[in-house]
Amino acid sequence: MTPTPTLDPVEAPAAGSRLTQLDALESEAIHVMREVAGEFERPVLLFSGGKDSIVMLHLARKAFWPASVPFALLHVDTGHNFPEVLAYRDATVAEHHLRLVVAHVQDAIDDGRVAERPDGSRNALQTVPLLDAITANRFDAVFGGGRRDEEKARAKERVFSLRDEFGQWDPRRQRPELWDLYNGRHKPGEHVRVFPLSNWTELDVWRYIEREGIELPAIYYTHEREVFLRDGMWLAPGGWGGPRSDEVLETRTVRYRTVGDMSCTGAVESTAATVADVIAEVAASRLTERGATRADDRASEAAMEDRKREGYF
Amino acid sequence: MTTTTSTTTAAAGSAAEHAQRELLRLATAGSVDDGKSTLIGRLLYDTKSVLADQLSAVERATLARGAAAGEVDLALLTDGLRAEREQGITIDVAYRYFSTARRAFVLADTPGHVQYTRNMVTGASTAQLAIVLVDARKGVLEQTRRHATVAALLGVPHVLLAVNKMDLVDFDEATFRAIAQEFATYATGLGLPDVLAVPVSALAGDNVVDRSTRTPWYAGPTLLEHLEQVPTDDALADAPLRLPVQVVIRPRTAAYPDYRGYAGRIASGTVRVGDSLTVLPSGKTSVVAAIDTFDGPLEQASVGRSVTVRLADELDVSRGDVLVPTPTTDADAGTTVGQDLVGTVCWLSERRSVLGARLLVRLGTRTVRALLREVDARLDVDTQTVELLSGVDTLHAVDATDTSSDAAPSGLGLNAIGRVRVRLAEPVLLDDYAAHRGTGAFLLVDPADGTTLAAGMVGPTLLDRLAPEPDEDADADWLAGAGI
């Protein structure tokens, strides 16, 4: 007997149907978002216009398609934003018919709830307007783009992270998180921070942006910009207070690895013009994302943990 | 010393390789002084997953501890946790990430700590592989057996025994063989399906990422090679379909006025267009009309994928329901729907179990009210023995106010593992955990404040396997004496 040759390829074997890493991460994030939609009354997605929150929004659109995203976006506006990022935010909200809630740090400064810091950085000042917005809007689940690879305090963060009425993260009070059974039960006044990108790394985010063809604000790619050097970081001038008289503006070819408050987010010198260029650069980088470009995380060994305990995301 | 072989790292490898890369979730079994931190540090360091700013922080910390310049204590890469423990903060699990061109890894780092069982259960619940470390000088200890027991209890498909500190026993083959053999015998008794022993020195890097020249007698893979090769799909791909419904997608837009899709992540098996499905617990049946995703419709989808399924008929399906294959004969139904849940739990809370307590049971995407009826067996994890507490409903037999942990403790306290019977307020699908690691897992939740009290596994588990046969005569005497 001679075997009959098959004309058509047989159905892909089980091995071929296994999820790739990016598929698995995507599927897990969608699962987390659907759990939130199923369990909570008033979820909201923190949206800064940075790459992590943009990826979160993309995943949310996938999770509920063909229905629209069933939650609002919340932007905590430090007042020191990159104009390109605000333009991106507003265009995105309009394109996908989303509801945007903006909490302004300036409002909290104006009515005395928080005080401006001498160094001009408003990153840490976001916590008060964030918590006020959560209370005022009665949000019970707040999606954040935090990843456990970012920082050692975040390595211990749960996917569902219970916060008390003061928004505090208490590492001692964390619920054990088993299988994919996320427990979002909470008392009135408490809320849950949810991190669907917990298991992603910076490179995963960029590879996913490439695979999905996700558009980002232009400042993530190389451009000429007037910058000045402070504490080893290239900061952009602006109404937030830089440069000081002893700091010299110069034009450099730069891009941003993270997007945040202008006073504490540094540019890196780079000629990476495409997503592929950025991936090559990030893969070869010998510095972590935050080590390279975030002044506030350099403040102390436990800077992130301290801010998280206060209610930061 | 070690030789450097063709170690591929995250920075190397083509885009095509990355596109095909799989994800492996693993857990380390933590205990003090076995070199776990050093091993994790070595894995991160040798896969080039440690960046310059992290490394210089570790170099500073190494110097601060009195080491010579240029030395790096890799254990300090995970030291953030230890510093917090020194301050008395208990952090049960941290997650770490590293990757090669072939695979990406999510490592649940479970520190050796007084809360060991709870920590290990948490880490092992999602792990496809557990690394159990032993010190080559000490061999298999009680804690080694404890780690193996928890891995077996949680149904972790693969176990890697890392016989560490081989440099301190002169890379002696006989020492390694004896330890590997003793562990293998033990693991077989627990029913652990796949165990590999690797001789390593985490400190010097032998057989962790790079192959050692000092173990010429060892022909197996290095630790990382095994992590790259071990199968990731396991039994869940071949198991019958389980699709727990998370949300019902109803756009009610002009473009999709009548759309009704059931969204969820496939917990096991495969769903195909045209399949006849049954909705549990209602038992209604229909046919798969479409499998939708944002990226377009699929003809079929398998375990792990988040999808939205449309059915041919208008059925009442909601969050908490599970879609399963419609049985073609009564014999192959394979599903159990019921209100009496018997399973093994690991108690996670400092609040002891109280018989008669009203609880919530979280099973898949369903949450139901429940009553804790019985705790009839307890597992001593250290000795792997099972103590039978009582064969009957002890609802009123135990003092529910007794919360002391020493004098004749009743029920289950923090870290205890026991068998429970829980009465549910409504019928649900009860899959055996042994066959359905996805849908056979459950949580016990305190309805008052949402605290997760226990993690559970439905059906017979390791505990039943280890339990002694009940003494039926004694049981009968007791029943007679109680006048029942």
**pLDDT tens string A8-63:** 333 333 334 678 999 999 999 999 999 999 999 999 999 999 999 999 999 999 99
Whole-number pLDDT of residue B470: 58
Under the banding of pLDDT at 50, 70 and 90, the label for residue A307 is: low
State how far the Cα of A154 lies from the Cα of A146, in Å rounded to an integer: 7
Average of per-residue pLDDT across B240-258: 95
Question: Element (H or E) spanning A35, and its range?
Answer: helix A21-39
Under the banding of pLDDT at 50, 70 and 90, the label for residue A279 is: very high
Question: Is it the case that residue A158 has pLDDT exceeding 60?
Answer: yes
Average of per-residue pLDDT across B188-207: 93
Q: Which of residues 13-32 of A touch B (CB under 8 A)?
A: 14-15, 17-28, 30-31
Whole-number pLDDT of residue B91: 62
Chain A residues near residue B255 by CB distance under 8 angstroms: 66
> Which residue in B442, B269, B416 sits closest to B342, CA to CA?
B442
Under the banding of pLDDT at 50, 70 and 90, the label for residue A231 is: confident
Average of per-residue pLDDT across B52-80: 70
A156 touches chain B (CB under 8 A): yes
In angstroms, what separates the C-alpha of B248 from chain A's closest C-alpha?
9
State how far the Cα of A180 lies from the Cα of A177, in Å rounded to an integer: 8
| CB-based contact B23 A19, cutoff 8 Å | yes
Chain A residues near residue B455 by CB distance under 8 angstroms: 176, 178-179
Whole-number pLDDT of residue B399: 42
> Which has more pLDDT, B48 or A305?
B48
Question: Is it the case that residue B149 has pLDDT exceeding 70?
Answer: yes
Q: Which residues of B428-444 are buried (b: 16+ CB within 10 A; e: fewer)?
A: bbbbbbbbbbbbbbbbb
List pLDDT tens digits, range B376-399.
Answer: 899 887 777 888 886 444 443 344
Pick B125's closest partner by Cβ from A38, A179, A199.
A179
| CB-based contact A148 B319, cutoff 8 Å | no
Whole-number pLDDT of residue B382: 75
Question: Is it the case that residue A123 has pLDDT exceeding 60?
Answer: yes
In angstroms, what separates the C-alpha of B49 from chain A's closest C-alpha?
10
Question: Is it the case that residue B269 has pLDDT exceeding 50?
Answer: yes
State how far the Cα of B307 lies from the Cα of A64, in Å rounded to an integer: 10
List pLDDT tens digits, range A239-252.
Answer: 777 788 889 999 99
A189 touches chain B (CB under 8 A): no
Lowest-confidence segment of A156-165, B257-266, B286-295 by average pLDDT: A156-165
Beta strands, E only, B298-365: 300-302, 306-311, 322-325, 337-347, 358-363
Pick A287's closest partner by Cβ from B52, B237, B238.
B52
Average of per-residue pLDDT across B35-40: 85
Question: Element (H or E) spanning A44, and its range?
Answer: strand A43-46
- Cα–Cα distances in Å, from B32 out to A153, B63, B83? 22, 23, 15
Chain B residues near residue A204 by CB distance under 8 angstroms: 104
> Which has more pLDDT, B110 or B188?
B188
Whole-number pLDDT of residue B264: 98
List pLDDT tens digits, range A61-120.
Answer: 999 999 999 999 999 998 888 999 999 999 999 999 999 999 998 888 888 888 888 777
Q: Are A263 and A235 in contact (CB under 8 A)?
A: yes
Residue-averaged pLDDT of chain B: 84
Whole-number pLDDT of residue B385: 84
Chain A residues near residue B54 by CB distance under 8 angstroms: 288, 291
Residue-averaged pLDDT of chain A: 85
CA atoms within 13 A on the CB side of B278: 16
> Which has more pLDDT, B231 or B19?
B231
Pick B51's closest partner by Cβ from A187, A279, A287.
A287
Q: Which of residues 95-154 of A touch B (CB under 8 A)?
A: 148-149, 152-153
Whole-number pLDDT of residue B390: 67
Under the banding of pLDDT at 50, 70 and 90, the label for residue B237 is: confident
Chain B residues near residue A288 by CB distance under 8 angstroms: 51, 53-54
Q: Which of residues 209-228 of A touch B (CB under 8 A)?
A: 211
Question: Is it the case that residue A163 has pLDDT exceeding 70?
Answer: yes
Under the banding of pLDDT at 50, 70 and 90, the label for residue B474 is: very low
Pick B53's closest partner by Cβ from A18, A31, A287.
A287
Q: Are B49 and B127 in contact (CB under 8 A)?
A: no
User: Under DSSP, is residue B344 helix (H, G, I), strand (E, B) or coil?
Assistant: strand
In angstroms, what separates the C-alpha of A209 from chain B's closest C-alpha?
13
> Which residue in B389, B379, B444, B376 sits closest to B415, CA to CA?
B379
In angstroms, what separates the C-alpha of A38 from chain B's closest C-alpha?
6
Q: What count of other Cβ atoms lies within 10 Å of the Cβ of residue B266?
A: 25
